Structure 1
Amino acid sequence: MTTDVFVEHRSALTGVAYRVLGTASDAEDVVQEAWLRWSKVDHATVDDPRAYLVTVVSRIAVDRLRSARARRESYVGEWLPEPVSTAPDGSERAEMADSVEFALLVVLETLSPLERAVFVLREAFQFPYAEIARIIGREEAATRQLARRARDHVEERRPRFEADRAARRRITERFLAACLEGDLEGITGLLAEDATLVGDGGGRAKAPLRTLHGMAKVGRFLASITNESNTRRFLDSLGLDSLDGMWAGITEINGGPAAVIAAGGQVLTVVVLEVVDDRVQDVYMIANPEKMSRVRLPLSS
């Protein structure tokens, strides 16, 4: 019975932890810690197992996020959330069915840990304010204030006219093809004038250490990464000898299309685009190999 109850709620618990933390590996650790606590508690004293488990997961995740923020100060380059496959043939589909879009996770990084937890519980899981207040240990009025501040912050930073899924996939396919060919004109033709590129190599793979701003800078960088010398340095940074068995294509990451490049069955890079008015506004390039464990290639690759 103890195990059955936990398994019943595990997907929702993972969704809460992942949204709060932005890393699937840390979310798994949080859920595992919640399981250990659940296995030791006197279940006769728990009136609502779901509420109890969400409370435990939320509090652990908030504490972990606070310590993670301190560690990220020494992170090499920019830090981006950990991408998660949500393709129908991915093993994470059921567990991460309620995963959020990658661009929203990036925005959530700008919230305080408490604001982020409140936003997730309210906007993603529709928890009542009174219950959220109990979970985070605040008065309901203060919780409503946190929720309003977080919501306003997110709305200010999200584009108002995002492209639909079909348009995003079409543009992502064209973008990937242009990048693979080193086609500067083709790349810049897809970028917004004020486009940005945020790369996350974690000091272990080639990626810009700082955000690139503007069509020209972003286009030149993307067109350059496929030239021979840069490709060689990129492979060396990952300990690979060649691009034998290279695969590049579009798959579903965090509920939306993303470009993925792999070699020898190893995912090298994930690129997620934020598309507004049929132009690429933001490019998120994740190349840190430590963040690829939850990215699955299509079975036919």
Structure 2
Amino acid sequence: MAGPTDVAEAAGYRPLLFSIAYGMTGSVGDAEDLVQDTFLNLTRAEQAGTTVTNLKAYLTTSVTRLGINHLDSARVRRERYVGEWLPEPVVAFAERPDDAPAEHAELADSLSMAFLLMLEALSPVERAVFLLREALGYGYPEVARLTGKSEANCRQILARARKHLAAGANAPADSAADSAAAPGRRAEGDELARRFFEVADGGDLSQLLGLLAPDVVFHGDGGGKGQSVGKAVTGLERVLRVLAFGFERNRELGITRRLALVNGRPGAVSYDPQGRVVSVLELHVVDGAIRALHAVSNPDKLAHLGEVSDLGLRQRPRER
């Protein structure tokens, strides 16, 4: 590479690189670090005399392999994590979605929390192949180049990953390739979210019966620090009890919310009376019903959204 315009060209790939890195790690901070490391690797390669003829191929290959290496080293940390692990939420506020950071722009249609949670069942290489092929739409030749595997091997890896996911408890009814971002489905999800949060603000809880699927699941991630259920809660009756307790507590503590797109799905960010972030909730809508709710209250996973409240740390969570 040579010439001053290459810097601008490289920067133009940052949203794509962030999408790959975030899809691999489920962490905003780790994804940003991997993207930065990718650009550092490019600089070092050029300084060492390497000629990069295909900038996009070089950068995407670098970030993919960094992501695989990162997951290999992160396994032990995940195994020691307190409670259920959920991805760090990527938020764009519903009334001004274009205000989301530019590097987050390509996430809206592909990387829901349900999808990323599902990917936790895969090995790092399986995750990379599945992510690139199913979520980001790469062909097998590109997937092979990015991962350093043969095309035939990538096909085998993808088939193995699909089997693992089909057998897993976290597999959602849809995938990253669903049409959730199509106008009709997006409008349907937004309407369900509006009605859901109207109930949260003091409506009749019986109205939730028409919004939640019978096999609805509530996932909560407090990381041992924020208020959360200890493990996933499954079934309409049990989830209704969790929601009733949470809605009542929020009203008592003066917690307010701002509607948002969370990983491209309808949701909200909750704030304490001082305007500090308390939690983020994503609603996973499938076939006209809320199939899953993903609530993140771990303060370590909210810091990129602003000052984090200590309100959720004052009492231990419980399920009623």
TM range (shorter): 0.7 to 0.9
Matched, 1:123 2:144: no
8 Å Cα contact 1:84/1:294 also seen in 2: no
Superposition map of 1:70-149 within 5 A: 70-87=76-93, 88-89=96-97, 91-99=99-107, 100-149=111-160
Q: Distance in 1 between matches of 2:197 and 2:39?
A: 41
Deviations 1:35-67 (A, max 9, x none): 211111126522212111111111111111122
Q: Distance in 2 between matches of 1:110 and 1:206?
A: 25
8 Å Cα contact 2:97/2:261 also seen in 1: no
Tell me which amino acid in the other structure corresponds to 2:266: P
Matched residue, 1:255: 264
Q: Distance in 1 between matches of 2:79 and 2:62?
A: 27
What is the root-mean-square deviation in Å for CA atoms of aligned residues?
2.7
Matched, 1:267 2:277: yes
1:51 is aligned, of 46, 52, 57, to: 57
- Between stretches 17-26 and 163-172, larger displacement belongs to 163-172
8 Å Cα contact 1:197/1:284 also seen in 2: yes
Q: Distance in 2 between matches of 1:29 and 1:3?
A: 18
8 Å Cα contact 1:162/1:276 also seen in 2: no
8 Å Cα contact 1:188/1:216 also seen in 2: no
Deviations 1:109-142 (A, max 9, x none): 2222111111222233333323322332222211
SS of the residue corresponding to residue 66 of structure 1 reads helix
- Between stretches 16-25 and 132-141, larger displacement belongs to 132-141
2:221 is aligned, of 196, 200, 206, to: 200
Matched residue, 1:235: none
Matched residue, 2:190: 169
Q: Return 5+ residue gaps in structure 1 as ranges.
A: 233-241
Matched, 1:13 2:17: yes
Matched residue, 2:173: 159
SS of the residue corresponding to residue 86 of structure 1 reads strand
Structure 2 CA distance for partners of 1:182 and 1:71, relative to 1, 3 Å: farther
Deviations 1:47-98 (A, max 9, x none): 2121111111111111111222220111111000111123445643421121
8 Å Cα contact 2:265/2:284 also seen in 1: no
8 Å Cα contact 1:22/1:82 also seen in 2: yes
State the 1:9 CA deviation.
1.5
State the 1:205 CA deviation.
1.2
Q: Distance in 1 between matches of 2:269 and 2:241?
A: 20
Structure 2 CA distance for partners of 1:130 and 1:279, relative to 1, 3 Å: closer
Q: Distance in 1 between matches of 2:152 and 2:122?
A: 19
Matched, 1:185 2:206: yes
Matched residue, 2:313: none
State the 1:198 CA deviation.
0.7
Q: Return 5+ residue gaps in structure 2 as ranges.
A: 308-320
8 Å Cα contact 2:262/2:281 also seen in 1: no
Matched residue, 1:278: 288
Tell me which amino acid in the other structure corresponds to 1:61: G
Q: Distance in 2 between matches of 1:172 and 1:275?
A: 9
Tell me which amino acid in the other structure corresponds to 1:222: L
TM (normalized to structure 1)?
0.84
Q: Distance in 2 between matches of 1:277 and 1:292?
A: 30
State the 1:295 CA deviation.
4.1
Structure 2 CA distance for partners of 1:294 and 1:183, relative to 1, 3 Å: farther
Q: Distance in 2 between matches of 1:287 and 1:90?
A: 25
Tell me which amino acid in the other structure corresponds to 2:76: A
SS of the residue corresponding to residue 225 of structure 1 reads helix
Q: Distance in 1 between matches of 2:201 and 2:26?
A: 29
Q: Distance in 2 between matches of 1:60 and 1:254?
A: 22
Q: Distance in 2 between matches of 1:226 and 1:115?
A: 39
State the 1:257 CA deviation.
1.4
TM (normalized to structure 2)?
0.79
Matched residue, 1:38: 42
8 Å Cα contact 1:196/1:213 also seen in 2: yes
Q: Distance in 2 between matches of 1:259 and 1:148?
A: 36
- Between stretches 103-112 and 282-291, larger displacement belongs to 103-112
8 Å Cα contact 2:133/2:143 also seen in 1: yes
Deviations 1:176-211 (A, max 9, x none): 222343844233443222211110111111111111
Aligned residues: 285
State the 1:266 CA deviation.
1.9
